[in-house]
Amino acid sequence: MIDLSKTIDLSTTYLGLKLKNPLVASASPMCEDVGNIRRMEDAGAGAVVLHSLFEEQIEIENDDLDRFLTEGSERSPEAVTHFPELTSRVLGPEGYLEHLRKCKKAIKIPVIASLNGSSRGGWMSYAKQIQQAGADALELNIYYIPVDPHVTGEQVELNYVELVKAIKTEVKLPVAVKLGPHFSSMANMAQKLDAAGANALVLFNRFYQPDYDLEALEVVPNLILSSSHELLLRLHWIAVLYGQIKADLALTGGIHTATDVVKAMMAGSKVAMMTSALLKRGINYLDTLATELLIWMGEHEYDSIQQMQGSMSRNAVPQPAAFERANYMKVLGSYAMR
């Protein structure tokens, strides 16, 4: 039997890092455990993206702690306080940074840290600390939902761009920017971020979407794991952007099978990031995916991942219009014919 891994090159480069394959475990709560990180490497991940360091969460938790410690104080002459002194300083980013250090020690594949800031100072300071803690790269998880009707799309875009510029001047690490799909002109936005110095764009973030509990009449947080059909939106934009910007492209959301990975690569993605698949099937599924990827490539006579990357991007296909409005027309037409 032929050992496909010796004849087929799965390696890719992402953010200037050489990865043994394009399978990347994306940011998720699974990454909070060093044991899981080790298992990801063992199962064959090309790199891991750690869960996000959320500045706002740290601040809210610290503010709450401060508020409740204070509210429990000076209540009466008998109870000047209701809590003992904290035995040590509460953890801000330290817990995350320590985790990052441990992960770096534990595995050899690249470790990409993820950051969600809420203030300019926080972004800068935490990015530097992440660099000092030894991350191989930094992913900016700009999880921002503009709900204020006074904020224009232009302002939002400008904030993204300014932030990336500022962070790029602050750290030497390669920087990826994880985006949502809700920009009026995604291609233009990608170009601006590219110009601002982003080394990669990660498409797309999946936002938590609140659901309703109809019995309790309450809004409840909801997380639905992704499925392959979400892949299409990502493929579309990666295919469109491929070749138009210098920054690497990374696909995240909807990767569940080896063929999903192949599609991502063909659209022009450097890596295929996944969480839902691993949550559903376990971390070892990475190993299965890698094997299936090899089999598919063997069966279809591909030599390397790099060979297929961008091979079906907008500019590489004979009908680029398929990625434009015409595609929509065609789908409708085919639907009507059924």
- Cβ closer to other proteins: 83 or 207? 83
CB of 31 to other proteins, least distance (A): 16
Stretch that binds other proteins, among 65-73, 159-167, 196-204, 299-307 (CB under 8 A): 65-73
CB of 116 to other proteins, least distance (A): 15
- Cβ closer to other proteins: 89 or 338? 89
Which residue in 34, 38, 59, 187 binds other proteins (CB under 8 A)? 59
Q: Among 262, 250, 255, which Cα is nearest to 141's?
A: 250
CB of 147 to other proteins, least distance (A): 17
- Which residues does 189 contact at the CB level (< 8 Å), separation at least 6? 157, 160, 179, 183
Q: Which residues pair with 326 in a beta bridge?
A: none
For the chain, state the CA radius of gyration. 22
CB of 96 to other proteins, least distance (A): 11
Phi and psi, residue 113, nearest 5°: -85, 155
Site residues for other proteins, 66-105, by CB under 8 A, read: 66-92, 95
- Cβ closer to other proteins: 88 or 169? 88
Helices and strands of the chain, counted as H and E runs: 13, 12
> Are the CB atoms for 167 and 175 separated by under 8 Å?
yes
> Are the CB atoms for 23 and 287 separated by under 8 Å?
no
CB of 207 to other proteins, least distance (A): 23
- Cβ closer to other proteins: 59 or 170? 59
Stretch that binds other proteins, among 55-63, 160-168, 198-206, 308-316 (CB under 8 A): 55-63
- Cβ closer to other proteins: 78 or 301? 78
Which residue in 7, 11, 62, 227 binds other proteins (CB under 8 A)? 62
Site residues for other proteins, 175-234, by CB under 8 A, read: 217-218
CB of 50 to other proteins, least distance (A): 16
Per-residue DSSP letter, 323: G
Beta-carbon count within 10 A of 188 CB: 11
61 belongs to the binding site for other proteins (CB under 8 A): yes
Per-residue tokens: 313: 């991007």
- Cβ closer to other proteins: 16 or 210? 210
# of chain residues touching other proteins (CB under 8 A): 37
CB of 54 to other proteins, least distance (A): 12
Q: How far is CA 122 from CA 56, 107, 108, 241, in A?
A: 9, 28, 29, 30
- Cβ closer to other proteins: 69 or 233? 69
CB of 59 to other proteins, least distance (A): 4
For 90-141, give the DSSP string: PPSTHHHHHHHHHHHHH-SS-EEEEEE-SSHHHHHHHHHHHHHTT-SEEEEE
CA 324, CA 328: separation in Å to the nearest integer? Answer: 8
- Cβ closer to other proteins: 106 or 158? 106
* Pairing status of strand 111-116 against strand 137-141: parallel
Contact positions vs other proteins (CB under 8 A): 58-59, 61-92, 95, 217-218
